[in-house]
Chains A and B, each alone.
Chain A
């Protein structure tokens, strides 16, 4: 009796399972809406439109919503979407699929659109722009990244889980910042200042004036990099500017490697005496400032000195920070993230100065960093510049970490 009931039951379950295995797990019963923000006068927008129109015909679940940002009713939405995605500088063409925003249009964007469409066909799909239109609150977890799905993290000892995209940019900030910091242009004035301060044997004055110099240098460097970043954000889509910057990086990189090779042949390595007049003028100013009796005028003098010296010296070490801001511009980040990466860069740029300053304050002895480190930093800088130049020229999508 039992067998009579059990056998047909087992056969039915087996047939049901076989039947279920033939059902393809397509999740998208609703279409994937692609929100496309454009400007009639933008040439990249026309290319993007042609690509999106073709997809709308060939892909059954692909739906296109286009918004001309010059039209008053769309401008508000354009601004609101950029605010929600924390990309207030984003220009047209701007495409939003689910929780991902793509800015600009290139071969890489085409690959990204297809991969996002396929990702959302088979995975969770939330139309963030539609939620904005409906006036719903947007949970920050809905905003995603194109290259990495949420959950693509690496676990670092002591630090814990770090998103892969931010790790790549942080690493770039640390490495390029350290190499840039070894540039001797940035070091000589600080050494002179510290030597003068050590001679006064007043630790409090040393702390205050030394840190004033370093903090002012950091602020000046931040504003210089910030201005370059803003320019870079507006020109990233222009191919000839990208190629021009890549060419500039390659020329400067090869120049650095050539200077390193020349130094290898040189028998006597030391400090090169250059720009005597300018140096003497700055030294006279430093001497006056350091020997000023009152602290406040001395601090004002140091601030003015740090601003002028950093602006004068920027031409000497412009290549690496300029390229780093270019990398940042290629990675569409939230505004605060841009500032954060610039701050990380500046901290590591000033790290060797900080070490020299700390040693001087605690031991009242001034130490220099050996010429050989400057020499190898020049080689590293050259290799980094050539690599970034090469990538910018031929494979720009590789430096888009985020």
Chain B
């Protein structure tokens, strides 16, 4: 599973979710998270057609986008989304 996390240094929700995603996927060896900075990599951000709310986690399985999680989510919500 390949995940792209579009986040920004000035965004409190991004900082919270960055740590939360790391903890959430810590024990899953098949998950690879790439962080894309909203301000430093605008061209890459454009590819993901991100809206006006950050952070955005785009999940790919076999090169297909399967999930898009926008904004701040609790651990419980993440468990529900990923059915863990």
Give the shortest distance, in Å, between A230 (CB) and chain B (any CB).
33
In the bound complex, residues from chain A placing their C-beta under 8 Å from that of B16 are: 367-368, 370
Interface residues of B in 53-84 (CB under 8 A from A): 53-55, 70-72
Q: A191 touching B53 by the CB < 8 A rule?
A: no
- Identify the stretch in A159-167, A272-280, A332-340 within 8 Å (CB) of chain B at 4 or more residues: A272-280
Please name all residues of chain B whose beta carbon is closer than 8 Å to the beta carbon of A184 when the two chains form the complex: 12
In the complex with contacts A191-B15, A270-B55, A283-B39, A371-B72 CB distance below 8 A: yes
Contacts A270-B71, A367-B15, A370-B16: A195 and B55 contacting too (C-beta < 8 A)? Answer: no
Q: Is A376 an interface residue when CB atoms closer than 8 A count as contact?
A: no
Report the minimal beta-carbon distance from A200 to chain B, rounded to whole angstroms.
13
Which of B9, B19, B39, B72 is the one whose CB lies under 8 Å from A270? B72
B52→A196 contact, CB < 8 A: no
Task: Report chain A residues within 8 Å CB of B11.
Answer: 188, 191, 270-271, 368
A261 at the interface (CB under 8 A from B): no
Confirm or deny: B5 has a beta carbon within 8 angstroms of a beta carbon on chain A. Answer: no
- A192 sits at the interface (CB 8 A): yes
* Chain A residue contacts of B10, Cβ below 8 A: 188-189, 191-192, 195, 271, 279, 283
Q: How many residues does chain A have at the interface if contact means C-beta atoms less than 8 Å apart?
A: 27
Please tell me if the beta carbons of A268 and B71 are within 8 angstroms of each other in the complex: yes
**A307 beta carbon closer than 8 Å to chain B:** no
**Across-interface contacts of A270 in B (CB, < 8 A):** 11, 13-14, 17, 53-55, 70-72
B12 touches which of A189, A365, A368 (Cβ 8 Å): A368
Quick one: which of A269, A367, A368, A369 contacts B71, CB cutoff 8 A? A269
CB contacts between A and B, total, < 8 Å: 78
Residues of A within 8 A of B52 (CB): 272-274
- Residue A187 is within 8 A (CB to CB) of chain B in the complex: yes
Within 8 A of B (CB), among A163-202: 184, 187-189, 191-192, 195-196
Which single member of B15, B17, B39, B70 contacts A366 (CB below 8 Å)?
B15
Q: Which residue of A lies closest to B7 (CB)?
A: A271
Contact present for B12 and A191 (CB under 8 Å): yes
Q: Is B3's CB within 8 Å of the partner chain A?
A: no
Q: What separation, in Å, do the CA atoms of A195 and B14 have in the docked complex?
A: 12
Contact of B9 among A192, A272, A374 (CB under 8 A): A192
B36 interface residue per 8 A CB criterion: no
Among A188, A268, A269, chain B packs the most CB atoms within 10 A around the CB of: A268
Q: Would you call B39 and A280 a contact (CB within 8 A)?
A: yes
Convert B28-60 into 0s and 1s, putting 1 for each residue whose CB lies closer than 8 angstroms to a CB of A: 000000000011000000000000111100000
Q: Across the interface, which residues of A come within 8 angstroms of B9, CB to CB? A: 191-192, 195-196, 366
Q: Which residues of B contact A371 (CB under 8 A)?
A: 12-13, 71-72
Bound: A187/B70 CA distance, A: 21
Residues of A within 8 A of B71 (CB): 268-270, 371
Q: Are A271 and B13 in contact (CB under 8 A)?
A: yes
Question: Are A370 and B70 neighbours in the complex by a CB distance under 8 Å?
Answer: no
- Check if B39 sits within 8 Å of A271, measured CB to CB: no
* Min C-beta distance of A374 to chain B, whole Å: 8
CA gap between A279 and B39 in the complex, in Å = 9
Q: How does the 8 Å CB contact mask read for A111-136 relative to B, with 1 for contact and 0 for none?
A: 00000000000000000000000000
A272 to B8, CA, bound (A): 11
Contacts of B17 in A (CB 8 A): 270
CA distance A337 to B72 in the complex (A): 42
Bound together, the chains give a CA A184 to CA B15 distance in angstroms of 14
The listed residue with most A CB atoms (<10 A of its CB), out of B8, B9, B16, B70, is B9
Q: How far is the CB of A256 from chain B (nearest CB, A)?
A: 19
Contact A269 B15 (CB under 8 A): no
Q: Can you list 29 A-B pairs, Cβ within 8 angstroms, ordered by A? A: A189-B10, A191-B9, A191-B10, A191-B11, A191-B15, A192-B9, A195-B9, A195-B15, A196-B9, A270-B11, A270-B13, A270-B17, A270-B72, A271-B10, A271-B13, A271-B54, A271-B55, A272-B53, A273-B8, A273-B54, A283-B10, A283-B39, A366-B9, A367-B15, A368-B11, A368-B12, A370-B13, A371-B72, A374-B12
Closest 5 CB pairs of A and B: A368-B12, A270-B71, A271-B11, A368-B15, A268-B71
